[in-house]
Amino acid sequence: MALVHCNQNYALAARMLHRLSAVIVMLPLRRRQSSGATDKMEFMNSALSFPFPDLPATGTTTAVAQGVAWLRMPLPFALDHINLWLLKDGENFTAVDTGFGSSETMAAWDTILSGKNLVRSIVTHSHPDHLGLAGWLEEKYGAQMWMSQGDYTVAHLINAQIGGYAVPAMLEFFARHGLDSARLAALDKRGNAYKKGVPEIPGSYRRLFDGQIICVGENEWRVMMGYGHAAEHASLYCEKLGVLIAGDMLLPRISTNVAVQPTNPDDDPLQWFLDATAAYRALPDDTLVLPSHGKPFRGINARVTQLHDHHAERCARLIEACATPKHAAELIPVLFDRDIADAHQVMFAIGEAIAHLNHLMHTNRLRRIIADGILRFETI
């Protein structure tokens, strides 16, 4: 399906205020590599080129293509930054992603948008560093939000703590996968982390579809939906510019977090992620990839191969470890070369472990055993 939306009327949409509770901040998990894997990673990264070595300082922009500017915003995590993009849109501007809901990000936006008219924000997906300030940008600058329906809906469900999107469902799910009471208690105490990063969500939005063409100024951007990292993640490709705004789907230095959700406990999001990234191989290899974390790069095929090899290697580790049945929690050190205590990281780690285990179950390499309410996996 290819829908063309040009000459939009950017009427300011009505807005709902949400002061709710919530959960899941999904960010890519920084992984420590074993020495062998590190060597491989560095070798593979030499296949990538980084044409913009200098980072834009907070509150400034760097032009990376005709009408495309790069800006970085701070994040209060180990992963300490997110890249956002500002597209020239005729006499106005469109933002791609909005930053984490913090006063620092607001101040940087105010500096960058001084003298500019921001008419739209295109949000790649619902995670707080991407969606966080969409409501504020709409209220203060009149920027209408565009987003996939999947992620818009999930954002509201998490913020409102509905059913399987609420903290108790997450705790129950992780307990079934063997997570110990101390780490469950830490996650429970952490409570609504999502709300901190997404203080408000616009009450209406323009919906994005796979294959949709969005006109931004003189450029056409094609939406490429991807799955496995978020409900319905929108990347944007402009053939004329040779640019892919990849969001979190293709990162140059860290692998994207892929996790099973409590609402879909038997799904195989790792396969979805592998399929979505494989689709990028159809793009020209000299495409400039604009990732949400790290620097813009070229070498799209090499990066996709590297990520696929990475997940295959992690799957091989799990197959070996599951010679005797194991649950996801005890496989975290196998997957990440260390055990993880920090609640924020535990959530990503166990979700990612379950994603690999489900993938191996669906591809008939592991069988799942349920005993005493705990799910374990055993090599076939």
Q: Which residues are near Zn ion by CB under 5 A?
A: 26, 127, 248
Pairwise CA distance, residues 82 & 291, whole Å = 9
Report how far residue 321's alpha carbon sits from residue 333's, in angstroms, rounded to the nearest whole number: 11
> Rounded to the nearest whole angstrom, what is the least distance from the CB of residue 229 to Zn ion in the complex?
6
- Report the C-alpha gap between 30 and 345 in whole angstroms: 9
CA distance 81 to 97: 13
Cα separation, 242 vs 285, whole angstroms: 10
Cβ proximity to Zn ion: between 152 and 377 the closer is 152
Radius of gyration, alpha carbons of the chain: 20
Residue nearest to Zn ion (CB): 127
Compute the least distance from the CB of residue 182 to Zn ion, in Å.
27
First to last CA, the chain: 41
**Comparison of 127 and 183: residue with beta carbon closer to Zn ion:** 127
Shortest separation between residue 257's beta carbon and Zn ion, angstroms: 7
Residue corresponding to tokens 């990281």: 345
Q: Which sign does the torsion angle of CA 370, 372, 373, 379 carry? A: negative
Give the whole-angstrom CA distance, residue 349 versus residue 336: 8
Q: How far is the CB of 187 from Zn ion (least distance, A)?
A: 19
Choose between 26 and 357: whose C-beta lies nearer to Zn ion: 26
Q: Which is nearer to Zn ion, 127 or 356 (CB)?
A: 127
Spatial contact of 347 and 361, defined as CB atoms under 8 Å apart: no
Q: How far is the CB of 111 from Zn ion (least distance, A)?
A: 25
Q: Between 248 and 268, whose beta carbon lies closer to Zn ion?
A: 248
- Which CB sits closer to Zn ion, 141 or 348? 348
In whole angstroms, the minimum distance from the beta carbon of 84 to Zn ion comes to 13
* Whether 22 contacts 192, CB under 8 Å: yes
| Distance in Å, CB of 33 to Zn ion, minimum | 21
Helix (H) or strand (E) holding 304: helix 300-321
H helix intervals, the chain: 35-45, 103-112, 128-131, 134-141, 149-159, 167-176, 181-190, 194-197, 269-279, 300-321, 328-336, 343-362
Give the residue with the Cβ less far from Zn ion, 26 or 87.
26
Query: In this complex, which beta carbon is closest to Zn ion, that of residue 84 or of residue 366?
Result: 84
The CB-of-172 to Zn ion minimum distance in angstroms stands at 24
- Bridge partners of 89, per DSSP, are 92
CA 226, CA 273: separation in Å to the nearest integer?
A: 7
Which residues 6+ apart lie within 8 Å of 333 measured at CB?
339
With tokens 């930054």, the residue in question is 81
Task: Compute the distance between CA of residue 193 and CA of residue 257 in angstroms, rounded to an integer.
Answer: 17
Nearest-angstrom CA–CA distance, 126 and 274? 20
- Cβ proximity to Zn ion, 235 vs 287, nearer residue: 235
Q: How far is the CB of 179 from Zn ion (least distance, A)?
A: 22
- Residues 219 and 206: their CA atoms lie apart, in Å, by 19
